[in-house]
Amino acid sequence: MRIEILNTDGTVANTIIATPEVAEQLHPGAWRVAAEQYEPAPTAGLQHISVGAFYDRFGPAKWAILSDESPPVRAVVRDASVRKYIDLDNADLPAGLAILQAAGHAIDPAEILDAPIQPHELP
């Protein structure tokens, strides 16, 4: 959690990420829990990529997929577009990619799902 380290006059000198126990050990009586807490970024090991990076993984088929107005493809695109990130381990994702293939889009689901995540793809 975010902990504010306090000066003797009560103003904030620094902000750290720690538990209250650690804050007390390091700065006895001179800390407080920050009012604003932030959601941590996805940690290593998670298969999360940004929505844009997900679309980029379609390669040359990206634009045809994004402009395809057929109801099944529109549903897949809309479903992906409303998400904060794409979880490549989501059990429903292969079915969505199969819908794109069935609509005639030449994509390789293995390339989309199994390619190593690059730093620029992180959400």
107 vs 39, higher pLDDT: 107
Position 41 pLDDT exceeds 70:
no
- To the nearest whole number, what is the mean pLDDT of the chain? 92
Tell me how far apart the alpha carbons of residues 42 and 86 are, in angstroms, rounded to a whole number: 12
Mean pLDDT to the nearest integer, 93-115: 95
Position 42 pLDDT exceeds 70:
no
Tens digit of each residue's pLDDT (9 = 90 or more) over 67-101:
999 999 999 999 999 999 999 999 999 999 999 99
CB 50 within 8 A of CB 86: yes
- pTM of the entire structure? 0.63
Mean pLDDT to the nearest integer, 20-27: 92
pLDDT at 37 (0 to 100): 87
Tell me how far apart the alpha carbons of residues 27 and 29 are, in angstroms, rounded to a whole number: 6
Phi, psi of 114 (to 5 degrees): -105, -10
Written as six digits, the tokens of 119 are: 């730093």
pLDDT at 77 (0 to 100): 96
pLDDT at 46 (0 to 100): 78
pLDDT at 14 (0 to 100): 93
CB 109 within 8 A of CB 76: no
Nearest to 90 by CA among 46, 56, 59, 40: 46
pLDDT at 17 (0 to 100): 86
